[in-house]
Structure 1
Amino acid sequence: MKSQIAIVTGILLSFNAAADEEWIFGIGAGVTSYESAYKGVSTETTVFPSLYAQKGNFLLVGNKAQYTLYGNSKFQVNLLGQYRFEGYEADDSYMLHGMEERDGALEAGVSATFDTHYGILSASFVTDISDTHEGHELSVGWAKPYQLNAKWMVKPSLELNWRSDDLNNYYYGVKLNEATAQRAVYKAGSSTTYRTGVDAFYIVDKQQTIQMGIGVKGWGSEIEDSPIVDRSNSPEVKAAYTFRF
């Protein structure tokens, strides 16, 4: 069951991954709708590919990939890579006119997961390897998959993230050459953010899974105080379909 839970929930762990020596692939599509933290940006709806790949100690789910360095039935240590989908273009909002574009970033680090009676505990550290924001992030999380019946599974989760000043300042700071009468120079410091939510999974059959989820991100004072931000939190909803072969 643990291997199936890892596949259908998108949790980046698979406690018996070493036994899976054949490639397993999954592909599909999803849609997410969320409230942007940036001023003047309305609700954003994005269509994204739903990707899954696994072989041996390697696992790819969406924008995150891991390679297990050590693992048993309860504990794993992994190398981690991910792409950060964060940032904006100047024409996304009237309040961002004159700002330089902020790009997504490729990050790498390490993670660990521990399967307990109370849920799956996780910790990770990633740093920018693409020279984009030149910052880093430390995260701790909890998730607990509940198998309701043969078809339905739900997974509540909570994650806390400590973001470095370089990371925050790249995405939410305002440089001197970007300042206007309505947008003061701003240098963001480090902060703690959170995300909490519930995902539901409908297992159509051994190959097909439908995922639905709701959640909210809380940004923390260093991000909230930015002159280009007008939200303390951002609700989001999502749905995705994946076919494994």
Structure 2
Amino acid sequence: MKRNYSVSCSVLALAMLGSHTAAAQEAPAGFLYGIGVGVNQEIYRGYSNRTIPLPILGYRGEKLSVYGPFVSYQLAELGNFSVSAKLAPRFDGFDSSDSAVFTGMAKRKDSLDGGIAVQLRQQDWLLEADTVFDLLGNANGQESTLAVSYSYRFNAVVVEPKFAVSYANSDLVDYYYGVRENEATTGRSAYSADGAWNYTAGLAVSTPLLFGGMTRLGIEHKWYGSSISDSPLTDRDTGLSAFISWSRFF
């Protein structure tokens, strides 16, 4: 069940990143450590939910931020507007042995995405947009995301509702959710996937009050586009993920 573990890694790394982004003006620079737990609901057939504990290591500087395998570097800043380069792993691969639905299929590899992200802060609002590309050429895909969030501050507690819309192009979707002609069986028809619009709504809560570090917990609900949910490899069109993380600077 490799992919369940990998997606949970992704959720937790982003959870930790969010906890220090939300408090960017207050957070010190330096190395940090911590632990997190993530739960992800899969949409591939034959997968169940998985709960995974993970260690957290990272660094936050004036321009460079490293949170596990997630890296960003600020290229420019003008008032409340900033532009950054980013690297992020894509944990969407699978092996034929991961589930019966993949039997006889070629391996779909995890990959590394790189691209540009922009942020616009206006008081408690944050507007983010990014476009990333498959740097390893496994899917040769591209994904663009637009997200808006708002921070409600109640003394030392921050509550952040967030909504995001993303578009994954046909190369990316077809690589991970398509079925090639030579992979088709009587129970798994050939399938060529188009690009997909996906939507995410989430709520996160963070506070520095517990154990001298930053604690963050939250939940996200994702709606997948029809070209993903219509794939013979999937049996759902929505999925839930939840996380809790704690991190502290050295």
- Same fold? TM cut 0.5: yes
Aligned to 2:11: none
* Secondary structure of 1:90 counterpart: coil
1:108 equivalent in alignment to 2:108? no
* Secondary structure of 1:91 counterpart: coil
Residues 42 and 112 (structure 1), Cα distance of their counterparts in 2 relative to 1, 3 Å cut: same
Aligned to 1:156: 161
CA distance in structure 2 between the partners assigned to 1:204 and 1:8 by the alignment: 17
What amino acid is aligned across from residue 162 of structure 1 in structure 2?
A: Y
Residues 171 and 7 (structure 1), Cα distance of their counterparts in 2 relative to 1, 3 Å cut: closer
What amino acid is aligned across from residue 194 of structure 1 in structure 2?
A: Y
Residue identity over aligned pairs, in percent, reads: 28
What amino acid is aligned across from residue 189 of structure 2 in structure 1?
A: A
Q: Report the more deviating stretch, 91-100 or 227-236.
A: 91-100
Question: Cα distance, 1:53 vs. partner?
Answer: 1.1
Structure 2 spans left out of the alignment, 5+ residues: 1-15
CA distance in structure 2 between the partners assigned to 1:51 and 1:12 by the alignment: 18
Q: Name which of 125, 129, 132 aligns with 2:131.
A: 125
Q: Name which of 72, 92, 97 aligns with 1:66.
A: 72
CA distance in structure 2 between the partners assigned to 1:7 and 1:98 by the alignment: 38
Q: Name which of 238, 241, 245 aligns with 1:240.
A: 245
1:198 equivalent in alignment to 2:199? no
What amino acid is aligned across from residue 92 of structure 1 in structure 2?
A: D
Q: Is the 8 A contact 2:141 2:172 kept in 1?
A: yes
What amino acid is aligned across from residue 122 of structure 1 in structure 2?
A: E
The list of structure 1 runs, each at least 4 consecutive aligned residues, that deviate by more than 3 angstroms after superposition, is: 10-17
Q: Report the more deviating stretch, 131-140 or 95-104.
A: 95-104
Aligned to 1:9: 19
Question: Cα distance, 1:121 vs. partner?
Answer: 0.2
Question: Cα distance, 1:12 vs. partner?
Answer: 8.6
**What TM-score do you get using the length of structure 1 for normalisation?**
0.87
* Secondary structure of 1:216 counterpart: strand
* Secondary structure of 1:170 counterpart: helix
Aligned to 2:10: none
Q: Is the 8 A contact 1:81 1:107 kept in 2?
A: yes
Kindly tell me the number of residue pairs found equivalent between the two proteins.
235
Residues 47 and 91 (structure 1), Cα distance of their counterparts in 2 relative to 1, 3 Å cut: farther
1:228 equivalent in alignment to 2:233? yes
Residues 13 and 208 (structure 1), Cα distance of their counterparts in 2 relative to 1, 3 Å cut: closer
Q: Is the 8 A contact 1:127 1:137 kept in 2?
A: yes
What amino acid is aligned across from residue 83 of structure 2 in structure 1?
A: V
1:44 equivalent in alignment to 2:54? no
Question: Cα distance, 1:39 vs. partner?
Answer: 0.8
Q: Is the 8 A contact 2:124 2:151 kept in 1?
A: no
CA distance in structure 2 between the partners assigned to 1:181 and 1:211 by the alignment: 46
Q: Is the 8 A contact 2:96 2:105 kept in 1?
A: yes
Q: Is the 8 A contact 2:223 2:238 kept in 1?
A: yes
1:91 equivalent in alignment to 2:97? yes
Q: Is the 8 A contact 2:124 2:152 kept in 1?
A: no
CA distance in structure 2 between the partners assigned to 1:9 and 1:240 by the alignment: 9
Residues 8 and 123 (structure 1), Cα distance of their counterparts in 2 relative to 1, 3 Å cut: closer
Aligned to 1:188: 193
1:146 equivalent in alignment to 2:152? yes
CA distance in structure 1 between the partners assigned to 2:18 and 2:225 by the alignment: 31
CA distance in structure 1 between the partners assigned to 2:56 and 2:211 by the alignment: 17
Residues 191-214 of structure 1 deviation map (CA, whole Å, 9 limit, x = unaligned): 111111111113136951121111
1:174 equivalent in alignment to 2:164? no
CA distance in structure 1 between the partners assigned to 2:168 and 2:178 by the alignment: 14
Residues 157-214 of structure 1 deviation map (CA, whole Å, 9 limit, x = unaligned): 1111110111101110111222110000111111111111111113136951121111
CA distance in structure 1 between the partners assigned to 2:51 and 2:186 by the alignment: 31
Residues 65 and 184 (structure 1), Cα distance of their counterparts in 2 relative to 1, 3 Å cut: same
